[in-house]
A and B are shown apart, each in its own frame.
Chain A
Amino acid sequence: MGSRRLTLTLAATLFLGLGLAPLVVMFASSLTVDGMFGLDRYRDLWASPRLPRLFGRSVLLAGLATLGALGLGVPLGLLLGKTDLPGRRLFAAGFILPLLLPPYFLALGWFALLGREGWLARLLPDAVARTLSEWLFGLPGCAVTLATVFLPLIVLLVCVLLHSVNPRLEEAARLYAAWPKVLGRITLPAIGPGVLFGAVLVFLLVLGELTVPMFLRYDVYPVEILTQFAAFYDFDAAIAAAAPLALVVGLPLAAEWRSRRFAAPDLRPAGTSLSIRLGACKWLWTVGVSSLLLMLVVLPLGALLLQAAPADFGDAWRRAGDALGRSLLYAALGASLLTAFGFFLGLLWRERTRGAGLTEFAALLLLILPSSVVGIGLIGLWNQPATAGFYASPGLLLLGYLIQYGALSGGIAHSALARLPPSLEQAAAVAGAGWWRRILFIALPLSRRGLLTAWLVAYLFCLRDTGLALLVYPPGGDTLPVRIFTVMANSPFGLVAALCALLVAAALPPLILTGLGLRREAHSP
C-alpha cells in the first residue's frame, strides 16, 4: 500500500473509530439488560407520557427557530453577500457574534433586558414588563434566542453559496429581467438545495440544544438526558433517552446527505458575480439592517455586559481564574489537535479515497449530534477500569472536541486544499517528490491560510463549548462556560455578567492575533 493510501486510510479509520465507537457502545448498551438483549430500558422510560411530550416540544422549538433563522437569514445573506450595502463586513461580524459565544449568553442578555429587573422592564409599565418576562421564559423567548444564535449559519451559507453560483447565469438573466425576478427565478433556485441543507442543520442543532431551554425554563428532550444523568445518576436511563435522539438526528441527516449528493452543491467561488446596486434605497436598507442587529445582538449582549459593575470583575476573577486558564488551554490544545487532524481529513475528502464519503457523513453527524448524546457516548465507552486514567483526564474532553468539531476543521482544510491547482503537486511528482514530500512542501505551505482559519474557528468552538464539557470535564477541571452555567442559577447577576465579560475578553486576543495573521497572509505573495 502506498504512503498516500496508508495515511489517508489510517486517518479515516481513526476518525471513524474514535467518533462512532461511543455511539455504537451507547446503542449496544441501551439494548442490553443483564447481558441479554432487551428493550426494558426504553419501555420503562417511554411508558410515561413525559418523554413524547418533551420530544414534541423540542420539535416545535426547532421548527420555529429554523423558520426564524431562514426567514431572516436568507434576505440578510442576500443583502450582505450580493449588494453594495454600506458596512456589509461590519454587519456580518455583528450577526456572526452570537455563534461564537456560548448560546446561553444571548439568553442571559435577553434576561438582562426583559427580566423582571431588566433594563427595558424598568422603563415599561408593570403589566407589559410581566408579559414580556413571561414571553421570554417560554417557547417564544427560546425560539427567538436560538434563531438568533443559529442565524449566522444561514447568513454565512447564503453568502458562500451566492459566490459559488456561475455569475454568467445571473448575467444572462439580467439581460431580460430586473434583480427581484433574477433572484427569484435563477439565483435562489441555484442555491436552494444548499439553503435547504443549512435549514436541516439548524433544525437538528436546535433540536439538540440544551443550555438555552434550561435557562429559559422551557423543558425539552435533551434536558431529560442531562437530568437522568446528572440529577438522578441513572446512566442507563440517560442512554435510553440519548439513543433515540441520535437516531432522530441521524436519519434526516442521512436522507439530506443522499439528496445533497444528487444536487452536488459546489461551494468553491465561481468568479466575480454582479453586485446588486441598492441605489436610492441604500440608506433605508442600512437603517433596517442596523435596527435588526441592534435588536437581536447589540441590545441583549450590551445589556448583559452592562450588568457587570467594576466590583463584580474582581469577584469574577477570583471565582473563575483557574477555569478561565483551563478554558484557554483546552481551547488552544483542542484547536491545534483539530487543525492537525482536520488537515488529513481535508486531504482524505479532496482525494476521495476509500472511506472518504463515510468519514464526511460521520463528521457531519457528530457535529450536529446533541453534545449530551456525544458526552453520554464518550462516558459509556471510556468510563471503564482499564481506561480510568484517560477518563479522568482532560484527554477525554479533547477527544470530545476532536470528534464533535472535526467536520469544521476538516471542511475548512478541504476547501483550502481543493482550491490548489492539481498541477502544483503534479509538477512536484514529475520532479520525483513522493506523496509525503508533496504534501509537506507543497500542499501544507500553500494551504496555511485555510489552516489558520481552521485553527481560529476550532478555537472559538472549543472555547464556547458548554454541553460537552458539562458532561466530560475532568474532576475539578471545569471550563469557564461550564462554571458560569453552573453558578448562574444562584449567584448575583452582576457576577454572572462579569464572568461572561471575562470569557468574551479571553476570546478576543487569539481572535485578533489570528485575524492579523490572516491579513498578513492575504497580503503576502
Chain B
Amino acid sequence: MSAVEFRQVWASYRGKPAVRDFSLDVEAGERVVLLGPSGCGKTTVLRLAAGFRVPERGAVLLDGAVAAEAGRLDLEPEQRGLGMVFQDLALWPHLTVRGNLEFGLKAQGVARAERERRIRETLRLVRLESRPDARPGELSGGEQQRVALARALVTQPRLLLMDEPLSSLDFELALELRREILALQEALGFTLLYVTHNLDEAFAIAQRIVVMRAGAIVRQGSVEEIRAHFDQVRRGLLASGTDGTAESAGVKG
C-alpha cells in the first residue's frame, strides 16, 4: 500500500511552476530520496506532502486517502500523522528538549505516563537521555540534529519527511548521523521521504532514488541503476572537459 502518492501534481511559486506534472508513489516502509540541484522543486514536494502547500492541480494521497486535491486541502498538517526534520531543524528555542518532544504528544492527547515513557525511549534511541532539560541553544550541532530527529520520531509517524537534514553538518558528523537514521528506519520501519542534493548521501540512504530537474522527475530507479547512470554521465563529462562532479551529473541527469 502507498504511504504517500502524488498524482499529476502542479504547484507554482510566484507564478513560476515549482512542481510540474509530478507523479510518485512511495510504498509503506520504503526509503525514497529526492535528488536534484537547488530550486528543482524537491522541498516543494515535501511541503505538499506535509500539507503546507496545496497543489493547484492533481492530488496528494496519504495511505490511499486524498489529503489535498486541486486547490483544496482535505487534511490539515496536524491530521496527517507525519514527522518532519527541517533543513534548519526548527527547534523551538524557548522549549527544552523534553518540551520540544512533548509538544506533539500533548497535541495528540497522549497520557502523561505514556508521554514520559516515549520521550525517555526516543531520547535513548538518539543517545540524548542525559539532556532532557537542555534548551536547543545549549546543545552542539550534532545534538540539535538528534533532537530534531527525536521530535519527528516521538509521535511514531508513519511517514518521515527529511529536508536536507545533514547539509549544515561537517563530513564526519553527517556520516555518523546518516548511519543512525538508517538504523532507526530499519528498527522502526517508518516510510522515509528524504531530500538531498548530495549524491553520496542519496546512495547511502535510499532504496529508490528520484532525480528531479525544473520541477519534474527526469529519472528514477534503484541505487544501482542511478549510480550506473551517473557514472556513465560523469565519464562523458570528463571526456568533454567539464568538471564531472556529482552536482553537474545531477543537473544533466
B82 on interface, CB distance cutoff 8 Å? yes
Q: Which of A166, A175, A274 is within 8 Å of B104, CB to CB?
A: A175
B83 on interface, CB distance cutoff 8 Å? yes
A177 on interface, CB distance cutoff 8 Å? yes
Looking at the assembled complex, report how far the CB atom of A192 sits from the nearest CB atom of chain B, in whole angstroms: 9
Given A169-B92, A186-B92, decide whether A175 and B86 contact each other with a Cβ distance below 8 A. no
**Is A176 within 8 A of B104, CB to CB?**
yes
Digitize A366-385: 1 where CB-to-B-CB distance is under 8 Å, 0 elsewhere.
00000000000000000000
Q: Contacts of B51 on A, CB cut-off 8 Å?
A: 174
Residue among A166, A176, A190 with most chain B CB within 10 A: A176
B16 on interface, CB distance cutoff 8 Å? no
Digitize A245-281: 1 where CB-to-B-CB distance is under 8 Å, 0 elsewhere.
0000000000000000000000000000010010000
A427 on interface, CB distance cutoff 8 Å? no
A502 on interface, CB distance cutoff 8 Å? no
Give Cα A186 to B108, complex, Å.
Answer: 16
CB-based nearest A residue for B89: A168
B68 on interface, CB distance cutoff 8 Å? no
**Is B107 within 8 A of A176, CB to CB?**
yes
**Is A175 within 8 A of B82, CB to CB?**
yes
Digitize A156-186: 1 where CB-to-B-CB distance is under 8 Å, 0 elsewhere.
0000000000101101111111100100011
Q: Contacts of A138 on B, CB cut-off 8 Å?
A: none
B33 on interface, CB distance cutoff 8 Å? no
**Is B84 within 8 A of A176, CB to CB?**
no
B25 on interface, CB distance cutoff 8 Å? no
Digitize B78-118: 1 where CB-to-A-CB distance is under 8 Å, 0 elsewhere.
10101110111111101000000001100110000000000
**Is B103 within 8 A of A168, CB to CB?**
no
CB-based nearest B residue for A178: B78
**Is A185 within 8 A of B90, CB to CB?**
no
Q: Which of A173, A176, A277 is within 8 Å of B108, CB to CB?
A: A176
Q: Contacts of B107 on A, CB cut-off 8 Å?
A: 176-177, 181
**Is A171 within 8 A of B94, CB to CB?**
no
Q: Contacts of A274 on B, CB cut-off 8 Å?
A: 52
A189 on interface, CB distance cutoff 8 Å? yes
**Is B103 within 8 A of A185, CB to CB?**
yes
B50 on interface, CB distance cutoff 8 Å? yes
Q: Contacts of B142 on A, CB cut-off 8 Å?
A: none
B243 on interface, CB distance cutoff 8 Å? no
**Is A189 within 8 A of B50, CB to CB?**
no
Q: Contacts of A174 on B, CB cut-off 8 Å?
A: 51-52, 76-78
Given A174-B78, A176-B78, A274-B52, decide whether A168 and B104 contact each other with a Cβ distance below 8 A. no
Give Cα A166 to B90, complex, Å.
Answer: 8
Q: Contacts of B87 on A, CB cut-off 8 Å?
A: 168
B146 on interface, CB distance cutoff 8 Å? no
CB-based nearest A residue for B79: A178
Q: Contacts of B158 on A, CB cut-off 8 Å?
A: none
Looking at the assembled complex, report how far the CB atom of A19 sits from the nearest CB atom of chain B, in whole angstroms: 35
**Is B108 within 8 A of A171, CB to CB?**
no
Give Cα A459 to B103, complex, Å.
Answer: 47
Give Cα A185 to B107, complex, Å.
Answer: 11
Looking at the assembled complex, report how far the CB atom of A430 sits from the nearest CB atom of chain B, in whole angstroms: 26
**Is A171 within 8 A of B50, CB to CB?**
yes
Given A175-B50, A176-B103, decide whether A166 and B88 contact each other with a Cβ distance below 8 A. yes
CB-based nearest B residue for A186: B92
The 8 closest A-B pairs by CB, nearest first: A168-B90, A176-B104, A177-B107, A176-B107, A172-B90, A174-B77, A168-B86, A189-B94
Extra A-B contacts (8), CB below 8 Å, given A169-B90, A176-B103, A176-B104: A168-B90, A171-B86, A173-B92, A174-B52, A175-B50, A176-B107, A177-B103, A178-B78
Residues of B within 8 A of A (CB): 50-52, 73, 76-78, 80, 82-84, 86-92, 94, 103-104, 107-108, 151, 155
Write 12 A-B pairs (CB below 8 A) sorted by A numbering.
Answer: A168-B90, A169-B92, A171-B52, A172-B90, A173-B103, A176-B103, A176-B104, A176-B155, A177-B78, A177-B104, A178-B76, A274-B52
